[in-house]
């Protein structure tokens, strides 16, 4: 995000951070580094089975079936997490000129831990919470999550 925002600001009309307003710097990133290192060493069907079962334990099938059907790209995890772990924090928001929506589940205490810092770093940013939702707010409250993104997108197009 930061690199794109800096290199192509004219192409970034708006930014939605959903469940992603926590710093990736510091000790809390250690377990994520461990998982990223482990993923290439285990057969791909194991994390797939786990990812298929876990959402079905917590959500109705109609909420998660499309995600399960589309599959997972676990092979990209080490590279993707390597790009952000230890490098992403609220300071990245200073590179963003476009309007931003920081959208989090109300109960997502871990991934919204830097929410206020992210909003302060990008004064035009708007923070919106999805009531009673956790980290996967789009699963916990799909209509509310979709409505929030649509409202933000409409504001962007209205300001053209």
pLDDT, tens digit, for every residue of 96-110? 889 999 999 999 998
Mean pLDDT, residues 20-24 taken together: 88
The neighbour count for residue 61, using CB atoms within 10 Å, is 9
pLDDT bucket at 30, cuts 50 / 70 / 90: confident
The neighbour count for residue 88, using CB atoms within 10 Å, is 19
Cα–Cα distance, 86 to 95 (Å, whole number): 17
Position with higher pLDDT, 130 vs 5: 130
Cα–Cα distance, 87 to 103 (Å, whole number): 21
Say if strands 15-18 and 126-130 run parallel, antiparallel, or are unpaired. Answer: unpaired
| Mean pLDDT across the chain | 89
Predicted TM-score (pTM) of this structure? 0.84
Reply yes or no on whether the pLDDT at 117 is more than 90.
yes
């Amino acid at each position: 995000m930061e690199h794109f925002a800096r290199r192509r600001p004219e192409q970034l009309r708006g930014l939605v951070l959903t469940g992603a307003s926590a710093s990736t710097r510091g000790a809390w990133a250690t377990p994520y580094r461990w998982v990223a290192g482990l993923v290439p060493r285990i057969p791909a069907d194991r994390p797939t089975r786990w990812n298929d079962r876990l959402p079905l334990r917590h959500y109705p099938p109609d909420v998660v079936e499309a995600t399960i059907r589309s599959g997972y790209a676990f092979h990209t995890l080490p590279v993707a997490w390597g790009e952000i772990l230890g490098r992403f924090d609220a300071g990245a928001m200073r590179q963003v000129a476009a309007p931003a929506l920081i959208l989090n589940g109300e109960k997502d205490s871990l991934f919204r831990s830097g929410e206020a810092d992210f909003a302060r770093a990008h004064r035009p940013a708007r923070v919106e919470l999805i009531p009673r939702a956790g980290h996967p707010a789009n699963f916990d409250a799909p209509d509310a999550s979709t409505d929030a993104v649509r409202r933000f997108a409409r504001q962007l197009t209205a300001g053209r």
